[in-house]
Structure 1
């Protein structure tokens, strides 16, 4: 018994020693500091407990009541010591790999249990499967002696102006439109903290004194400023500056910013800025590189104040407002953007004004099926009136900058004009089941147009005016479905002479063939070569002449319907007709035809801008042909049904992405531009991009565009194209086909995908 008792005591002592050791070995981190959190405020880590056997992460998730969340089976954590992913073992408080419906409170707390991470790890990352799944990076596993007092991690606003003065983050500080790193932090006493920050070789010494009510004193550059964490508690001087003519200015804006707690581990190194060009009618995209510390900056070429759009795998922001010659700095990563610089107040005001918008697309679709055109118009004009009243009320309260008021007023007027114009499209979209014929627009349908806005050059400050011009170009009931046109050779020669375009010997020879009516030619087979030579020589002029005829035909109908004298709206509509082929199709206008092409545009800036774009395109064509990376192939001399096999065999051993396209196809060109960064990223992989078009792509335009599209190119004849179109059921373009390394078609019709999805698909077959 004694031996048994002794053994029991020894066993108990051994067990207690294990328990004691386990308790000492366990490590708890409460409210750990985190880096980049893709979930914003939805997912918060309250505690991490690391024992000898497991790593337990305590979460609190906020999500709308009744909606569901799920913890996937391949959820993992990864420490900063190795590339090993520690996959989830079990959950507490929430089911694993099953839908969990949020309670009425909209809050749930739970634990996720993973294997033990390395004892040397100082941080972990949390991830779920999928590019758009929840991910949190740089979750600290230890306290750092250099960390600021917790209350300081925030954006701080100047009490006297309301402007952002400084923002403290885990690794960086945003100050004076720059991103700084911490060099040293010293707590001098209970209320004071001295901080040394650096931006490259430049350093700044900051002294922060904590005050009551979420305020601090910041001493920097030999002056002290009182700051508040709450911008609403700050004074705000409302800008009375307004936009004035001339509004056009050939300049650029500096657009910079910081992504809160950005980590290169995100794998996203660039963002795309999209700028609507009201003169060309197109959209220009500009790549922005993200630096390892989350800072980005770029010069944006714009020629009037306008809204631009930011796109990335992290954020999509639709309401960034820029002005030529002015900088804007933004902070991304919280639910609301934070702005800094001379355009901050304007952007804050415009963001606030989004809340007065009343138009709801889903609500409109329910109502429109029971509305005739004029009922629909009245319904929208009542919404517009309410919005304008709200806008005026906010202005009268002295809470709104004058520029924001100008922009929003034009936007309200133009956006509702757009909705009213779209009656037939919206009706057909809403009434797909009943298929009732849309009613014709009454003769008084367009009597709501605000003629001042239509022809006011200042209207270009609103993005909705750009959309309005597009809608105005295709007005239902005004725009003819088609019109007949006969070449007026006599009128062409009259225009040549009126515009002082020198007539060549070829012109004079051809002019002799023109009949007395000026519409037909007295020509026989012997003279056919002269006709062909003249049509080729004057092809540029003839295209301009015909486009002017079509435009004038429509402009006359608009004038007769609305009694609108020519102004900025006509100038921009005409400019878009001229600019589109110059920019999109790389088809510049010959110098001797340029003045004639621009002759009916009144605005001098628009004329000069088109000349500038025409010159840029000419230079671009020359430069493109020197860049390389594109290969124009002869169509294989085989039967049509063998063409694809011949093309594929040439590139066997590679994954092949075939793109059916045309020079005149806007969506094709947009898709080609979108995938350009991915092609560059995968240029050293076994992936071949093949572009196939037909003779509907004009040869000169094709030859100018191809050097901008890296890859293998084929221009097929009609029969050859029809065979491939039938084989892959090409009913419209763009149309893409994927072929694996063995030369087998694995997807005959790819759906639209972003670059991340395309990359994943290509890598699947590598």
Structure 2
């Protein structure tokens, strides 16, 4: 009898729930991932007749956003169209107010009642707003992804700090993008900070089915791989490292930015490999305390400080922060890593004190024109470094394990010799780096000689000389592979005053776009990538010539492996030639464009940095009589 009563009561409850007509409201739903931080879904109302989204927008004041009338919701493979908008007009420009914040309401066809999550798709264009996995079940936190192996999950916060590995080898980084959506991108970028103090960029295609992307590259000594927005990992040369990136970090960032939101710890990255434990510890939380000097905040020190006062300031700031690290309840390994990072920062702050205070001035006065020298900076003296050497060993190889170690490397490698002598450093990491780094450019250009190698002595780790020889061997092999594909035009043998005319004069009667660029320039590469496919379609014309001018700051191997995929005429100028043309056209940065008309006249056209305007202008001019 009791069972019958219970069953009847349960059926009645279900019937009453089915008869309810009031809206289901979900406040501040979790969002799985997104391709932009501009939009947030603050509230979802589900009724029998509509799905209503309360949308918050965040963007630069006085800039516009736009919502396409073809926007739809997607749930369980079906699309639900936009039916109404309040506070914004679809297909029209919506100008953000002074606050940079706005709200509007979008209504769609009703989602099925049992829908657990849905996607917001602002049309199907590549750069339209897209938010995925908007939760309707009331979840409050993100769970740990499935399928991550034990090595990438385990963390020992009391383990000892590993040592930097000094050897060379081909490294493979296999990246698994968890919760990947094809709309989040077809390529993954990885930036590698090297032992030379420089940074290499790698881009590879993402497998649309598995969400896996693989990078392979030659590595010389310890390196740090950075993944945009996701974190970084230390790499030992010659190993195969598997990295798991939880792409829900893009949704979590939106959720965490909500007003009044409780910041939840979110682990973005998991890894295996030689430095698995340290990498996983550092990436295990997004809310680790940041004991940093923040050298580039514009607030470190005062540009008006005397050299002596600045030295005291650096030393005292280091002591304060190191004491804070020691007294915190962090795991011992995390404390050691943070302290190594702080030590590296302190070395940079001291050795680059003149430039640091100049940066401070330019930041505070918003004056970034290097042609305007900053006067009144009291020059630092090499003896200032003694203030730090009394506190820790600035020649300790373990400093390479800290965050921002590339800044430390650049600081000690290029410091005046007087600083190194004042520090009393004669052998070890710093002297070897100072011999090694200046020769990297020669090895990467294929011009290294055995005479160059005589700088290394018995006191130096043989790694450095071996690495340089391996770099040169790789360079020569890569140049040989592209020698018949990479065509670099001979620079006209004329005075610099006549150089530009000599380059473009063979094409009089045609429209010529001269693109000033370099391989290390991200916006340059992005612009070229966007334009290249159009050369065979809407910009295909016998009356349109593409000329690309780079200089010798583009590493020769990188340059020659890139230009076969860039249709046009390629010139690589020396410093004198580039400097003259930069002054002639008042080039303020790259990419910069000079447009030559059919009559041979030309002028700088940096408004063509707008890709749409560039395409429109070239199409019109090349098709005109």
Q: Same fold (TM over 0.5)?
A: yes
Q: Shift of the alpha carbon at 1:420?
A: 2.6
Give the structure 1 partner of residue 194 of structure 2.
277
Are 1:457 and 2:383 counterparts?
no
Instruction: List aligned pairs for 1:2-151, cutoff 5 A.
Output: 36-39=33-36, 42-44=40-42, 46-47=44-45, 57-59=52-54, 61=56, 72=66, 74=68, 77-78=71-72, 90-91=85-86, 97=94, 99=96, 111-113=105-107, 125-127=120-122, 134-137=129-132
**Displacement, 1:93?**
10
Q: What is the CA-CA distance between 1:274 and the residue it aligns to?
A: 0.9
For 2:559 and 2:525, how far apart are their aligned partners in 1? 12
Contact 1:247–1:304 (CA<8 Å) still a contact in 2? yes
Which stretches in structure 2 are left out of the alignment for 5+ residues? 1-18, 112-116, 253-265, 368-373, 620-625
Measured at CA, do residues 100 and 658 of structure 1 come closer, stay the same or move farther in structure 2, by a change above 3 Å? closer
Shift of residue 613, structure 1, vs aligned partner: 0.5
The CA deviation string for residues 625-652 of structure 1, in whole angstroms up to 9 with x for no partner, is: 13x2635267499976753653554864
What secondary structure is seen at the aligned counterpart in 1 of 2:404?
Answer: helix
Which secondary structure state, in structure 2, belongs to the residue aligned with residue 365 of structure 1? coil
Provide the residue aligned with 1:163 in structure 2: none
Counterpart-to-counterpart distance in 1, 2:99 and 2:572: 56
In the alignment, structure 1 residue 659 sits paired with structure 2 residue 516? yes
User: 1:272 deviation in Å?
Assistant: 1.4
Q: Deviations over 1:320-349 (max 9, x none)?
A: 444453433221222344333446653353
- Is the CA contact 2:62–2:96 (under 8 Å) kept in the aligned structure 1? yes
1:413 pairs with 2:413: no
Q: Does 1:610 align with 2:468?
A: yes
Whole-Å separation in 2 of the counterparts to 1:707 and 1:94: 47
Give the secondary-structure state (helix, strand or coil) at the position aligned to 1:308: strand
TM-superposed deviation, 1:406: 3.7
User: Could you tell me how far apart the structure 2 residues matched to 1:382 and 1:130 are?
Assistant: 54
How many matched pairs?
546
What displacement does 1:717 show?
10
- The superposition leaves residues 690-726 of structure 1 with CA deviations (integer Å, 9 ceiling, x where unpaired) of 22368xx69xx97995464234124679999798556
Deviation track 1:494-548 (CA, whole Å, cap 9, x = no partner) reads xxxxxxxxxxxxxxxxxxxxxxxxxxxxxxxxxxxxxxxxxxxxxxxxxxxxxxx
Contact residue 508 and residue 600 of structure 2 kept, 8 A: no
Deviation at 1:466? Answer: 2.8
CA distance in 1, matches of 2:215, 2:579: 45
Once residues 309 and 426 of structure 1 are traced to their aligned partners in structure 2, the CA distance between those partners, rounded to angstroms, is 25
Q: Which moved more, 1:559-568 or 1:710-719?
A: 710-719
For the residues of structure 1 that align with 2:613 and 2:267, how far apart are their CA atoms? 31
**Kindly tell me: are residues 50 and 613 of structure 1, through their superposed partners in 2, closer, same or farther at Cα, counting changes over 3 Å?**
farther
What residue number does 1:748 align with? 604
**Selected match of 1:448 from 376, 381, 387:** 387
Partners in 2 of 1:631 and 1:265 — Cα distance?
37
Aligned equivalents of 1:721 and 1:245: distance in 2? 39
1:728-747 alignment to 2 at 5 Å? 728-730=585-587, 734=590, 736-739=592-595
CA 1:736–1:347: 2 relative to 1, 3 Å: same
CA, structure 1 residues 286+677, in 2 after alignment: closer, same or farther (shift >3 Å)?
farther
**Partner in structure 2 of residue 565 of structure 1:** 426
Return the alpha-carbon distance in structure 1 between the equivalents of residues 400 and 305 of structure 2: 32
Gap regions ≥5 residues in structure 1? 1-23, 144-148, 157-165, 168-173, 179-230, 480-553
Q: Is the 8 A contact 1:273 1:287 kept in 2?
A: yes
Q: Is the 8 A contact 2:549 2:571 kept in 1?
A: yes
Residues 197-227 of structure 1 deviation map (CA, whole Å, 9 limit, x = unaligned): xxxxxxxxxxxxxxxxxxxxxxxxxxxxxxx
The structure having more radius of gyration, on CA atoms, is: 1
Partners of 2:323 and 2:303 lie apart in 1 by 28
CA shift for structure 1 position 449: 3.3
Give the drift of 1:92.
5.7
For CA contacts below 8 A with separation 6 or more, give which structure has more relative contact order.
2
Q: TM-score, normalised by structure 1?
A: 0.57
SS of 2:214's partner is strand
Residue 286 of structure 1, CA deviation: 1.5
- How far is 1:616 from its partner? 0.5
For residues 154 and 77 of structure 1, what CA distance do their matches in structure 2 show? 27
| Offset from partner CA, 1:9-63 (integer Å, 9 cap, x none) | xxxxxxxxxxxxxxx9x99887699764335694345135685xxx653225497
CA displacement 1:257-299 (0-9 Å, x = unmatched): 3253x43334x211211111114x4322221322225723324
Distance 1:443 1:717 in 2: 34
Query: Partner residue of 1:375?
Result: 309
1:422 paired with 2:352, answer yes
Question: 1:709 corresponds to which residue?
Answer: 563
The corresponding residue for 2:319 is 385
Q: Distance in 1 between matches of 2:421 and 2:575?
A: 43
**Equivalent in the alignment of 1:333:** 248
Residue pair 2:490, 2:571 contacting (<8 A) in 1 also: yes
The structure-2 alpha-carbon separation of the partners of 1:319 and 1:566, relative to structure 1 and needing over 3 Å to count, comes to same
The answer to whether the Cα contact below 8 Å between 1:257 and 1:330 also exists between their aligned partners in 2 is yes
Counterpart CA distance in 1 for 2:155 and 2:82 is 51
**CA positional deviation for 1:575:** 0.8
Equivalences for residues 196-211 of structure 1 within 5 A:
none
Matching residue of 1:400: 331
- Measure the CA separation in 1 of the matches of 2:377 and 2:317: 23
Structure 2 CA distance for partners of 1:446 and 1:278, relative to 1, 3 Å? same
What SS does structure 1 have at the residue aligned with 2:505? Answer: helix
* Aligned counterpart in structure 1 of residue 487 of structure 2, from 620, 630, 633: 630
Distance 1:439 1:299 in 2: 46
Please, what is the CA RMSD of the aligned residues? 5.4
Shift of the 46–360 alpha-carbon distance from structure 1 to 2, 3 Å rule, reads: same
Match of 2:176 in 1: 257
- Tell me, yes or no, if structure 1 residue 466 matches structure 2 residue 406: yes
Aligned to 2:114: none
TM-score (norm 2): 0.68
